[in-house]
């Protein structure tokens, strides 16, 4: 199996953001994560990620990331932005143990839809044809923004960037995707033959490929059938387009897994959410990455489930409810207009309309624990940290202060909440410390 170099050093100036391009999120995941997931599936012998702009932020998120089981990623730094060819050279030089006769994949980190199966096809074609370089190509309905592939009697001859294309060349719809499989010796020999005679003074990876062709190396192409697989992300507009494509793709995956989604067009489910077969998502819901939804659960309409949310079997989250970093136990429900943050809610609990888990005191976030079979009256405010006991009840509008735990079977009312009944008794008093 070949090695893989991911180019992730670019600033991405067209994004108009200080954030490194590969850290912009697509359906809840940074762009770089998609390239790493492709590497996981392809399982190359070695993986190098070339970073530059904002590398500290990239390493902060990914330094512990492994690939293909438990292999270490090699991080190579492009100190100066001297072009894609220069970045590829840094990546190849960082490949420990690679031989000159070996072939290396070079992949841009802004191709989130690129499939491992496509790279595998490139490898098979590369080996079968004894190619020196294999270029991934696609015939696009709209080739804008891509370099055009020039052929001579059907054979690869050149790549012309759009800014350099005349009218005839601009009408060519076969484009260079920005993914290559190249022999190490072939790359190194032709890299030295490229020049920096351009406005940016940079070495371009396409120039290396074209130079290899002109020097007699065998260059083959592999065609991508689905042009959506080649969608790039170089701007906020392209990110929005990719978001729509990925959203539709993920929705189809959930539907095929047996999740009922009433209105896919109004539903936003991020990559990494786990939804069991038999769950139902009503219109206008947002489900973030890291959310877990069990079988028989219902969500929405107009619900927002944030990271760390876990809905257990048959739980119900209704209209205009927001849940964050909380467990909602089996058969529990919060049907209307509530906020549940940093909560641990047991089984068969009813959380009334307008309830607030006041989890943040301005400095720290704390947990609200609600025991099995509790009833939380409408408009209750539960100030964390606090425990609401099993089979207990809060009256409508009750404010349960932090540390004033409600005992099992207790009933509390008022502002601040005081015990109205405890273990069947009608004695009044403060909630428990």
Active site residues: 336
Q: Are 39 and 259 in contact (CB under 8 A)?
A: no
How many C-alpha atoms does 336 have within 13 Å on its Cβ side? 8
Q: What angle do CA 86, 227, 104 make, to 5 degrees?
A: 35
Angle separating helix axes 184-191 and 84-93, nearest 10 degrees: 130
The whole-angstrom separation of Cα 242 and Cα 116 is 18
Could you tell me the two tokens for 185?
A: 């010796």
Burial of 9 (0-12, 13-18, 19+ CB in 10 A): buried
DSSP structure class, residue 201: -
The closest alpha carbon to 268, from 14, 15, 25, belongs to 25
Q: Where are the alpha helices (DSSP H) in 94-175?
A: 116-128, 167-170
The whole-angstrom separation of Cα 243 and Cα 225 is 21
H helix or E strand, kind and range, residue 331: none
The closest alpha carbon to 8, from 105, 78, 70, 95, belongs to 78
Could you tell me the two tokens for 217?
A: 């190396």
Q: Are 143 and 219 in contact (CB under 8 A)?
A: no
SS3 string of 211-247?
A: HHHHCCCCEEEEECCCHHHHCCCCCHHHHHHHHHHHH
The whole-angstrom separation of Cα 399 and Cα 414 is 7
């Amino acid at each position: 199996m070949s090695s893989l170099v991911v180019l992730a050093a670019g600033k991405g100036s067209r994004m108009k953001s200080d954030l490194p391009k590969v850290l912009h999120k697509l359906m809840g995941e940074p762009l770089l994560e998609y390239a790493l997931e492709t590497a996981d599936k392809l399982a190359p012998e070695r993986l190098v990620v070339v970073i530059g702009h904002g590398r500290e932020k990239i390493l902060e998120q990914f330094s512990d990331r492994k690939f293909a089981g438990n292999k270490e990623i090699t991080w190579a730094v492009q100190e100066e932005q001297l072009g894609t060819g220069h970045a590829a050279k840094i990546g190849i030089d960082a490949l420990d143990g690679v031989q000159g006769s070996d072939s290396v994949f070079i992949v841009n980190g802004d191709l989130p839809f690129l499939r491992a199966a496509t790279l595998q096809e490139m490898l098979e074609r590369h080996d079968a044809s004894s190619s020196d370089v294999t270029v991934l190509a696609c015939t696009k309905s709209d080739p804008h923004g891509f370099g055009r592939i020039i052929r001579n009697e059907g054979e690869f001859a050149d790549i012309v960037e759009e800014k350099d294309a005349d009218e005839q060349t601009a009408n060519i719809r076969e484009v260079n995707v920005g993914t290559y499989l190249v022999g190490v010796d072939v790359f190194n020999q032709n890299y030295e033959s490229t020049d920096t005679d351009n406005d940016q003074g940079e070495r371009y990876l396409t120039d290396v490929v074209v130079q290899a062709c002109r020097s007699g190396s065998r260059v083959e192409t592999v065609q991508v059938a689905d042009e959506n697989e080649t969608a790039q992300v170089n701007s906020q507009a392209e990110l929005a387009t990719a978001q729509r494509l990925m959203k539709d793709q993920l929705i189809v995956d959930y539907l095929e897994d047996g999740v009922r989604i009433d209105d896919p067009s109004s539903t936003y489910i991020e990559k990494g959410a786990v939804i069991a077969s038999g769950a139902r998502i009503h219109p206008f819901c947002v489900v973030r990455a890291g959310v877990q939804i069990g079988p028989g659960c219902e969500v929405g309409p107009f619900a927002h489930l944030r990271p760390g949310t876990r809905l257990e079997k048959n739980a119900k989250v209704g209209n205009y409810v927001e849940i964050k970093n909380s467990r909602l136990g089996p058969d529990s429900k919060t049907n209307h207009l509530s906020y549940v943050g940093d909560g641990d809610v047991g089984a068969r609990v009813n959380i009334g309309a307008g309830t607030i888990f006041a989890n943040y005191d301005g400095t720290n976030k704390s947990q609200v624990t609600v025991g099995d079979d509790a009833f939380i009256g409408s408009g209750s405010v539960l100030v964390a940290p606090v425990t609401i006991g099993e089979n207990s009840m809060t009256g409508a509008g009750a404010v349960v202060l932090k540390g004033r735990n409600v005992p099992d079977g207790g009933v509390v009312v008022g502002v601040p909440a005081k015990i109205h009944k405890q273990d069947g008794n009608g004695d009044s008093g403060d909630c428990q410390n």
